[in-house]
Chains A and B, each alone.
Chain A
Amino acid sequence: MTYEPGDRIRVVPAGKPGHVRTPSYLRGKSGWVEAVIGPFPNPEDLAYGLSGLPARNLYKVGFKQVDLWDDYEGQAEDILYADVYEHWLEPGEGGTA
């Protein structure tokens, strides 16, 4: 499955042992695909000396800060962007952002 800019997504809520590049504070959070960055060898495998192949698609994903932090005191429109690999994403609710 491949996502396109504007697609609503959710970060997979699961924990995973070992090296991951998806911050724990994004797990289970909803956002949208801002841009497709492209395919790269999987860093979760590269970290253990493996090939990281097949390459995984990497996306620039946007989140509203108020959706990430219970006590967020900044502006309601503040956004956090994070680079997230495709295997950490699942389809989210509500069409395009």
Chain B
Amino acid sequence: MGGLPGGPVDRSQHEVEDWERLADAINGALEGRGLQTTDQHRRAIESLEDYRHLSYYERWAAATERLLVEKGLLTSEEIDERAAQLERRWS
């Protein structure tokens, strides 16, 4: 990965989960509104401390959160609070 040894490639097909579609859609919507660009999102993904331990769309979601906070559109507290609300509703 990134030119470093990453072990064998997993060639099996993966089912796309709903939250992954949502992460993709939110990204598209933010770009459509001019609130985020692909290059900014890539830069945010690269800056994730736990990059290597996250799945593809976990990186997308974490990078989007980072950009939204960086741009002052949301705070980490607002995002955590909303996530806790949803968790209570679905658990």
Q: Which residues of B lie under 8 Å from residue A19 when comparing CB positions?
A: 39, 42-43, 46
Number of residues from A at the complex interface, CB < 8 A? 11
Shortest C-beta distance, B43 to chain A (Å), equals 4
| Consensus secondary structure, chain A interface | loop
Q: Which residues of B lie under 8 Å from residue A24 when comparing CB positions?
A: 2-3
User: Which 9 A-B residue pairings sit nearest by Cβ, starting from the closest?
Assistant: A25-B3, A47-B43, A19-B43, A46-B39, A47-B39, A43-B39, A23-B3, A47-B40, A24-B3
| Consensus secondary structure, chain B interface | helix
Q: State in angstroms the CA–CA spacing of A43 and B46 once bound together.
A: 14
Contact of A74 with B by CB under 8 A: no
Q: State in angstroms the CA–CA spacing of A49 and B42 once bound together.
A: 12
Q: State in angstroms the CA–CA spacing of A78 and B83 once bound together.
A: 48
Q: Which residues of A lie under 8 Å from residue B40 when comparing CB positions?
A: 46-49
Binding site for A on B (CB under 8 A): 2-3, 37, 39-40, 42-43, 46
Shortest C-beta distance, B71 to chain A (Å), equals 9
Chain B, residue nearest A27 (CB): B3
Q: Which residues of B lie under 8 Å from residue A49 when comparing CB positions?
A: 40
Shortest C-beta distance, A41 to chain B (Å), equals 9
Q: Which residues of B lie under 8 Å from residue A43 when comparing CB positions?
A: 39, 42
Contact of A18 with B by CB under 8 A: yes
Shortest C-beta distance, A11 to chain B (Å), equals 12
Q: Which residues of A lie under 8 Å from residue B39 when comparing CB positions?
A: 19, 43, 46-47, 52
Q: State in angstroms the CA–CA spacing of A46 and B37 once bound together.
A: 8
Tell me if A23 and B2 are in contact (CB < 8 A).
yes
Q: Which of B2, B3, B39, B40 has the most CB of A within 10 A?
A: B39
Q: State in angstroms the CA–CA spacing of A34 and B39 once bound together.
A: 25
The 8 A CB mask of A47-61 against B (1 = contact, 0 = none) is 111001000000000
